[in-house]
Structure 1
Amino acid sequence: MVGPDVWETCREVIPEGSVFAFLAEHRGELFPAEMFTDMYPSANGRPSMPPQILAAAVTLQALHGLSDFETVQELRCDLRWKAGCGLGLHDMAFDPSLLAYFRRRLARSARPNRIFEAVREVVKATGVLKGKHRRALDSTVLDDAVATQDTVTQIIAAVRAVIREVPGADAVAAAQCSAHDYTDPGKPRIAWNDEQARAELVDALVTDALRLLGHLPDEQLGERAANAVGLLALVAGQDVEPAE
């Protein structure tokens, strides 16, 4: 934790009865550490950010309908979000790609709806959706079109970073990557409300990422290149996270 605990030091400014206060008080009960043990079975897969914090962040993200980038901005700047997720006053949270990484692990786990089940408890306890014209929460709340577009954006950006920073990666990408034109600054043109189309796009982009990683020249990389490769491995859903 960076800086003093926001819930302990700034409790009086967190709205009483709000979802933020509820998470601050009951986050440990909703998201105990053992709840995520199966998602990180190996020592190499141990997350750099505790999954309890990511779970609380994803819960608030779902309830407020925010993108990954917007969610991290709230975590960096809003005392309520910091209190609800257990961050310190000066904590700058994490890279938005960690949310995509967390969702992918969750989707591949034996209990992909575990966060949704906890979200229902939050909604029931706080009445956070009362009087609001917001879409009903359902089991797709963590894997909807907005979340998928975040994931797609992050994978494409990570592939571009590797192409830009790693010597020879542009030639590898030209030969191995076909899911998207990575020189095109726009998003892929698909029907974003079509669940199968979204899933096929993400699968194709991940395949591109893994092909690119698997065919890079075997050479010592500088810091920027190594960071780019590590980030691509992260957002592509591999089990090993780059060191902080």
Structure 2
Amino acid sequence: MWVRDHLDGLWCDEDFTSWYPRDGRPGLSPAQLATVCVLQFLLNLSDRQAAEAVRCRIDFKYALAMELDDPGFHHSVLTDFRDRLCEGDRADQLLDLALERMRDAGLLKERGRQRTDSTQILAAARELTRLELVLEAVRGALEETARRAPEVLDELVDTDWAKRYGRPVRLASQPSHPVTRLTQAGADARRLLDRLPPAARGPRTEALRQIMVQNFLIDTRGNLRPRTDKDGQPRGALRIVSPYDLQARRAIRGDTRWSGYLVHVTETCDADDSVNLITDMATTAPTRDSQALPGIHTRLRARRLLPAEHLVDGGYTSAALLDRSARDHQLQLVGPVKASGSWQEKQQTGYTREAFHIDFDRRQVTCPNGKTSGNWLEPPSMAPYTVVRFHALPCSRKPTSPSLHGGRRCDDRCRGCRLPTSGNTQGIRLSVRPLRSAVGNPTGT
């Protein structure tokens, strides 16, 4: 309603000309249908409830610029419109248009304050075991083949196949002979894929092929067998969890486990009383949040909506991203930086990098016992670190105080980053000066 008070609408019908054919009877306003989809999501309404609200609620009619006696439309229209919306990148195009018009109207401004966070999206698929995944993939490929090339199945499918793949797969929690059944399903899938001509292959067949690659291998004798842990299996970020959604992945964050995606939402959060507006949304595989941040900044820059201050949680921050955001986009990335994960920090038995005094101007490092470094090696062009080496120190020949050094020699303690020894030298690896400055530690003290 706040947007309607300032604009005639987020979209106009001319924005949707490429969505519909030029001939045929006049249809409903696509701009109004797009606005209804937004209101439907905000209020968590079903299609029937949303269509009823368009007919009966004055606030809906005001937001849609409809006459009070407008009868609205049938609820099935929303399903057809969403099908069109899901084609290609149309949803992103509508978001870009809405943001452009709000920016031109002065409702959005560049170089303000924005924040980003992520949440889980569940895939529209049930949890499958490995055996269920392969069986369901074979069943889906057989159904697709029956539509595209039914002649292939004449000599392939028999009564046993009909029993195994005639119905959706739902097994007990502990099915009988799981390894034997998995091997049999793999053999059936191999026979099907070998007989299918390229013209008959569709998305279900491609899904079966990818699942076979991830779960089976052919040994030196030419026999197909299931992969084991020793053979190597895809990690969670690559492993397919459903033959009907090849992009969904299984993920774990803390105590939360799910199969699906992550959505990263960016919105304005300026100090004034203005309404917070979403400026970017990105749906990705459930990977690290930090991997999504460069793309967020790139899209905001293309929309001319880069903030001056970007608030994030610890999953989005690192020394490299803090420095890159400042250099490439002239914005301040604000968020907690993860603590050191070194073995010295975890075991409390060795010096961390913070125990060394680093003087970048003099290109010198002083160890906790007051000894200075001998060599300062500048990093290669693409390496974000500097290597500093210490010559053999007098304190390496005598044990130090157990309360301070755990009863170990000082040179053992000076290996702050697990660099191996080289002759009579010890080494430490440091982030380059811009990265240390980005996390508020320019000197290392």
- Range of TM-score over shorter length: 0.3 to 0.5
TM-score using structure 2 length = 0.23
Higher-RCO chain (CA-CA 8 Å, sequence separation at least 6): 1
Greater percentage in helix:
1
TM-score using structure 1 length = 0.39
The structure with the largest alpha-carbon Rg is 2
